[in-house]
Amino acid sequence: MGTRKKVLAVLLVAGLLAVSGCGNNGGTGGGGTGDNSGTESTWKMATSDQYEADAEPGETDDRAFQRFENPVDVHIGMAVSATDTSLKENGETVEDNYFIRYLRDTFNINVIVDWYTADGESYNQKVSTLIASNSLPDALVTSERNYMLMAAKDGQLADMGDAFNKYASRQVLDIVNAAGDVAIDKASWKGTFYSLPGLDVAASGTCVYFIRQDWLDELNLEVPRTVADLENAAKAFMEAGKCDYAIEGPANGIRTYCTFLTSSPGICMLDAVYQAHNAFPGYFIKGEDGKVYYGSTTPEFKEALELLHRWYEEGILNPEIGVQTDAMKNINAGKTGIYMCSWWGLGYGNFSAFKNDPTANWQSYPLYTEDGEWNIHVGNLGNGYTLVNKNASEEVKKAVIIMNNIHVRDEAMLVNQTKIPVGYFPLRNNMAAADESEYTHNVLLSVARGETTIDDYEFKGTAYKHLKDDINALSTVFNNLDWAKDDYATIYDMNVEDNNFARMYSLMITDRPAATLKPDHEISSVSYSVTPAAEKYWSNLIAMEDAFVLQVITGKKDISEFDQFISDWKAQGGDEILKDMQDIADGKE
């Protein structure tokens, strides 16, 4: 045994020696580590009035849209859809496509795609591996704040603050500034602006429900307002043999509500039901007494869970909730008549329901509490972080910011020039004005009704970057609809084959409640960022919560264990997060 040990020890030492070169190599450039803790940066974001108006597409002498004198190589990694076939159909590749050529020819930015994977798990695994081995490419976009924090803490990221102030377009500055400190906070670590934040439209956080209006009409039912109404409609659908179960639930891996860290409810999340109970799970909320509490620990939440469990038991809710791999499957097959999501959930979110069944007239409505109030939570701004490697040159940093400017300004234009999805735009990190979808809905409505015309709007440098194209799409997507007479648009009025169909459907039909009705209460989380305690405990806590919620709904755990859940949650780090949140709440006063 003695000899054996010795041999192993020798081998290990040999291994250590052999690899010490490798380890060092992996650590090149890591000399200056992220040891900027303690010193809070005094960096402030620039405002748009410091600069001249942005250049129009085609002009390249502007500060924010300049053409580089010498080609700048930007090495990136990117996520692509595993199932998209449009690239191949159009003879393009990920490494060389319309967007990349546009950047190269017009701006002399030479994007080199070092690697790409399918989006989701594979992409995250890749990013995590690269951070762990300190080998990030010049730039990439991640949707996980965890990764941004890890890389920032480890000193792998470039400070983007000064470059951003210098080169961000007015349009971009307007959008980020309008989102306020929250946007900057989430893109920063210890006061240093380490990433460009992705910003979603506010309406994405607002959950509404969608229902088969044609079934309601056929059964002579009123549009449901409250949860009880919805339940009655659901039962009526089932009794009439319209569907096996009436309400669709989220797929495997999707929780039933979005938390303070997620921007938008995913397809079939049930946020609307919780909110109609005045429950705001996943949110840290300041109570009337000034004390911060966690929304998933309230009696209202418990009540909502009990209801969902009853729905599950009675077969109103999909029995495969949380297990099915594809929540859209049964909706598209016409097997269910109600689901929930935010403004993009129809159209963008569900494309083929209409193709399979042209009579499926989906409409979206808010869900009210028993007291007739529409309460919503204010969503997180979005999950997107453009990370730039610490070792990237100033030119590369500049190029990354200019690429972002270009994306924000030209996306709508580019979409109409090529058939490949805009997702292939390198380093695409969506930045939208918070009220873009409501504003656009109302503008489109007034243009459609003839109250205004396209000439009444100023498009140069506006934060509503799609507006012009949206107005133009109005006439190609909708045919023979008398907007003045009808109160709302339906699928019957639309040209489903049009390129802009999905966007128009989402804007004009799904977004109608969020754009035209004012919620009675808008509940915000005390913070939308990860606090130090949350950094430590959140991922374990939310995993426990997810499992508990799903088990209660599907009856594998009894609701009587709710108190146990609360005390577990608190004991396993929840109390410490609450303390952090309380400090934030108190600091704001």
Partner 1 sequence: MRREKEEILHQENGRGSKWDRQKTGKVSLQFHYWLMVIPGFVWIFLFSVVPMVGIIMAFEDFSPSKGWFGSEWVGLENFEYLWRLSDARRVLKNTLIIAGGKLILNLVIPIIFAILLNEVANLRFKKTVQTIVYLPHFISWVILANIMSNIFGYQGVVNAVLGLFGTEPVVFMGEPDMFRQLLIGTDVWKEFGYGAVIYLAALTSIDPNLYEAASIDGASRWKLIRYITLPSLIPTVVLMGTLSLGSILNGGFDQVFNMYNASVYSTADIIDTWVYRIGLVNVQYSLASCAGLLKSVVSLILISISYFLAHKFADYRIF
Partner 2 sequence: MIKNKSLGSRIFMVVNGIILSLLALSCLYPLWYTFCISVSSKEAVDAGQVLLFPIGFNFGSYKLIMRDSAFFSSVMVSLKRVVLGTLLSMTCMILMAYPLSKTKRHFKARNICMWILVFVMLFNGGTIPWYMTVRYYGLIDTIWSLILSGSLPVFNIFLIVSFFRQLPSDLEEAAIMDGAGPWTILWRIFVPCSIPVLATVCLFVSVGYWNEYFQGLLFINTPANYPLQTYIKQIVVKIAADVSYTTEQYQEMTQNSNRALDAAKVFISMIPMLMVYPFIQRYFVTGITLGAVKG
Distance, in Å, from the CA atom of 500 to the CA atom of 516, rounded to the nearest integer, reads: 22
Per-residue b or e along 541-578, where b marks 16 or more CB atoms closer than 10 Å to that residue's CB: bbeebbebbbbbbbeebeeeebeebbeebbeebbebbb
Residue type for position 92: E
**Residue 248 found at the interface with partner 2 (CB under 8 A):** no
Binding map of partner 1 across residues 529-568, x = CB under 8 A, - = no contact:
----------xx--x--xx--xx--x-x------------
Least distance in Å: CB of 147 to partner 1? 7
Q: What kind and span of H or E run contains 483? A: none
**How many CA atoms lie less than 13 Å away from 139 in the CB half-sphere?**
31
368 beta partners = 226
Nearest in space to 479 (alpha carbons), one of 461, 491, 467, 462: 491
Q: Is residue 128 involved in binding partner 1 (CB under 8 A)?
A: yes
Return d(Cα 379, Cα 370) in angstroms, integer. Answer: 23
Q: Which amino acid, one-letter code, is at 550?
A: L
Residues 411-440 that bind partner 2 (CB under 8 A): 421, 423, 430
- Residue 521's DSSP bridge partners are 375
Residue ranges in 106-135 that form contacts with partner 2 under rule CB under 8 A: 114-122, 124-126, 129, 132-133, 135
> Mask: binding to partner 1, 47-86, rule CB under 8 A, as x and -?
----------------------------------------
Neighbouring-strand partners of residue 340: 209
Question: Contact, 448 vs 474, CB < 8 A?
Answer: yes
Q: Which of residues 186-245 bind partner 2 (CB under 8 A)?
A: 198, 200, 204
Binding to partner 1 in span 305-364, by CB under 8 A = 319-325
CB distance 499 to 477 below 8 Å? no
Which of 109, 179, 328, 467 binds partner 2 (CB under 8 A)? It is 328
By rule CB under 8 A, what string of x and - marks binding of each residue 480-509 to partner 2?
----------------------x-------
Nearest distance from residue 300's CB to partner 2, in Å?
Answer: 25
Site for partner 1 in 220-259 (CB under 8 A): 252-253, 255
Q: Which does 472 bind (CB under 5 to 8 A by kind): partner 2, partner 1, none?
A: none
How many angstroms separate the CA atoms of 74 and 268, rounded? 38
Site for partner 2 in 362-391 (CB under 8 A): 382-384
Interacting partner of 154 out of partner 2, partner 1, none (Cβ under 5 to 8 A depending on kind): partner 1
Q: 3-class secondary structure for 424-461?
A: HCCCCCCECCCCHHHHHHHHHHHHHCCCCCHHHCCCCC
Give the residue, chosen from 45, 254, 523, 566, that forms a contact with partner 2 under the rule CB under 8 A: 254
By CB under 8 A, the residues from 360 to 419 that bind partner 1 are: none
**φ, ψ at 196 (rounded to 5°):** -85, 130
Residues 539, 179, 343, 273, CA torsion sign: positive
Q: Which is nearer to partner 1, 88 or 556 (CB)?
A: 556
Q: By rule CB under 8 A, what count of residues binds partner 1?
A: 50
* E runs forming strands in 37-134: 72-80, 109-118
Residues near partner 1 (CB under 8 A) are 11-12, 14-16, 18-20, 22-24, 26-27, 30, 33-34, 124-125, 128-129, 131-134, 146-147, 150, 154-156, 252-253, 255, 319-325, 539-540, 543, 546-547, 550-551, 554, 556, 572
